[in-house]
Structure 1
Amino acid sequence: MSLLPVYRRPSAMLADLADMWNAAISPLTERRTTFGAHLIRVEDTVEDGHYVVRAEIPGIDPAKDVEVSVHDRRLTIKAERSAKKEEKGYSEFQYGSFERTVTLPVGAQEEGIDAHYAKGILTVSVPITEEPKEVTRTVEVKSGD
């Protein structure tokens, strides 16, 4: 299993180049960033006290083809698709699997996670508590004499 950080893209034009590069190096780094023949786009944000991850996974049945799990501050999304299209004397099928793991931010709560699939987008919302404030402490240094 590979742990991949979610990255933000600075512009739409560079996003397509980054996706092509990631797909090309995928076999070398064991990154699974494709789903069938399509690249999977993932984005993350913090909205209203929730860490939100959106994954573009079109053409699946969310009830049976997607699994979302959390373990040790890591959110894993697994999906599998198989589709068969038959027309007069012609048939075509698509299949593939996808797995993506992201590290949850500090303060993320593993309880109360919500996952919703609509219009090809899987949205996972993880509640986060207020980040702990940094506390500076002075430690007394004792002499060895």
Structure 2
Amino acid sequence: MNSLVKRERGTFADLVDWLETEFPAIPAFRPFAGLQMMRVEDFQDGDQYVMRAELPGIDPDKDVELEVQDGVLTIKAERREERKDPHRSEFRYGSFSRSVTLPAGADETGVTASYRDGILEIRVPLKEEQKTEPRRITIAKG
């Protein structure tokens, strides 16, 4: 027979939550805020760079913004709090973002994104790198 064991969060977890809520602008109280809220994985799939981000409970049409500029891909998202009973909540709410440097040869104009089952998947085409031969440069005297 299986039984459900109620696990209390403890005072420290409550203190961290309180600090993050009451002092969101002070980085010392939010050392891992963005990292804890948006976990990502990336890999190369043939001629595409793929980045996947966990964003459960997010409406991608309203709550997610993607930007790519100068070789950096940025995901910004917001999870809004919907409290009915303040008894207990271990969910994380608020705005968060994650930026990654794209690999060499990334085609910023061909970026696509899709959202399914709480996972945001971004695909970036990779151009074949142009290999050039070394060229000797003469040095002017004088």
- TM-score by length of structure 1 reads 0.66
Unaligned runs of at least 5 residues, structure 1: 1-26
- DSSP 3-state at the match of 2:108: coil
- 1:121 positional shift: 1.0
Show the counterpart of 1:33: 35
- 1:143 positional shift: 4.1
CA RMSD of aligned residues (A): 2.6
Show the counterpart of 1:47: 45
Show the counterpart of 2:96: 98
Unaligned runs of at least 5 residues, structure 2: 1-26
- 1:142 positional shift: 4.0
Contact (CA 8 Å) 2:81, 2:94: kept in 1 or not?
no
Show the counterpart of 1:115: 113
Query: Once the two structures are aligned, what percentage of the paired residues are identical?
Result: 48
Show the counterpart of 1:84: 82
Show the counterpart of 1:68: 66
Show the counterpart of 2:19: none
Instruction: Looking at secondary structure, tell me which structure has more strand per residue.
Output: 1
Show the counterpart of 1:10: none
Q: Name the aligned partner's letter for residue 65 of structure 1.
A: D
* 1:129 aligned residue (122, 127, 130): 127
Output one character per residue of 1:112-141: Cα deviation in whole Å (capped at 9) or x when no partner: 211111111111001110022243111223
Inter-partner Cα distance in structure 2 for 1:72 and 1:118:
28
Aligned residue pairs: how many? 113
Inter-partner Cα distance in structure 2 for 1:69 and 1:30:
24
- 1:83 positional shift: 3.9
- DSSP 3-state at the match of 2:68: strand
Inter-partner Cα distance in structure 2 for 1:126 and 1:77:
14
Alignment map for 1:16-27 (pairs within 5 Å): 27=27
* 1:141 aligned residue (130, 139, 142): 139
Inter-partner Cα distance in structure 2 for 1:142 and 1:82:
64
